[in-house]
């Protein structure tokens, strides 16, 4: 585990989420309201502030575009490090809780999503739970990332596949 990041854990299957405590329901309402405010806010600094209030870790000099959706139940599992860019219409999911009937083949879990320093997530990309985007990596527009992306690597597609490494170009 990297220092300070949360670790993956099991969570209730969908049917079991109906038994949430009042505190859990209030947290969901808070996250939904702040998430909706951030989603359509035309001012970048306010978008970042609303997401931080939800629990998303956002480093220095980060860009978050308009209409981005960050996990509504576990935003505290999302880490966007310094100088990273998450462009418009992106989706970052930190949890997956399928119906209980799928428990033999799918795990209900929450896992951290880490977007490392200098990474770029291009428009309309989706990052799935447990994915780490490497330092200065680039996720091409419209990609669905289900596996870690190494440092200085360009990926694209659904599912995202490595296109090239470019560290030598940045030295």
- Residue 138 tokens read as 């680039």
- Cβ distance 170 to 135 under 8 Å? no
Which of 65, 57, 112, 64 has the alpha carbon at shortest distance from 81?
57
pLDDT in tens, 136-167: 999 999 999 999 999 999 999 999 999 999 98
Burial class (CB in 10 A: 0-12, 13-18, 19+), 86: buried
Q: Which of these is catalytic: 47, 51, 54, 95?
A: 95
Q: How far apart are the first and last CA of the chain?
A: 28
- Cβ distance 92 to 68 under 8 Å? yes
Q: What is the pLDDT at residue 1?
A: 45
Which of 130, 126, 131, 128 has the alpha carbon at shortest distance from 143?
126
Helical packing angle, 44-54 and 22-40, nearest 10° = 170
51 belongs to the catalytic site: no
pLDDT in tens, 4-56: 899 999 988 887 666 778 888 899 899 999 999 999 999 999 999 999 999 99
Q: What is the pLDDT at residue 21?
A: 82
Cα 88 to Cα 3, 41, 61, 133, distances in angstroms: 29, 12, 17, 17
Record the pTM: 0.93
Q: What is the pLDDT at residue 124?
A: 98
pLDDT in tens, 89-129: 999 999 999 988 998 999 999 999 999 999 999 999 999 99
**Cis previous bond, 127, omega within 30:** no
Q: What is the pLDDT at residue 3?
A: 67
Coil, strand or helix: which one is 16? helix
Would you say residue 76 has pLDDT above 50? yes
Domains of the chain, first to last: 9-170 (2.160.10.10)
pLDDT in tens, 130-143: 999 999 999 999 99
Q: Which residues are paired to 127 by β-bridges?
A: 92, 145
């Amino acid at each position: 585990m990297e220092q300070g990041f949360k670790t993956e854990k099991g969570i209730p299957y969908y049917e079991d989420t109906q038994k949430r405590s009042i505190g859990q329901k209030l947290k969901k309402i808070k996250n939904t309201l702040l998430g909706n405010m951030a989603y359509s806010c035309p001012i970048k600094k306010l978008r970042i502030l609303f997401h931080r209030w939800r629990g998303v870790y956002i480093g220095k000099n980060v860009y978050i575009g308009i209409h981005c959706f960050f996990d509504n139940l576990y935003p505290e599992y999302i880490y966007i490090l310094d100088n990273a860019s998450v462009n418009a219409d992106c989706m970052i999911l930190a949890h997956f809780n399928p119906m209980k009937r799928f428990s033999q083949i799918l795990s209900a879990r929450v896992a951290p999503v880490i977007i490392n320093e200098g990474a770029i997530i291009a428009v309309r990309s989706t990052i799935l739970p447990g994915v780490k985007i490497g330092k200065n990596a680039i996720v091409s527009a419209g990609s669905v990332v289900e596996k870690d992306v190494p440092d200085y690597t360009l990926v694209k597609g659904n599912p995202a596949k490595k296109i090239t490494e470019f560290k030598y170009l940045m030295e």
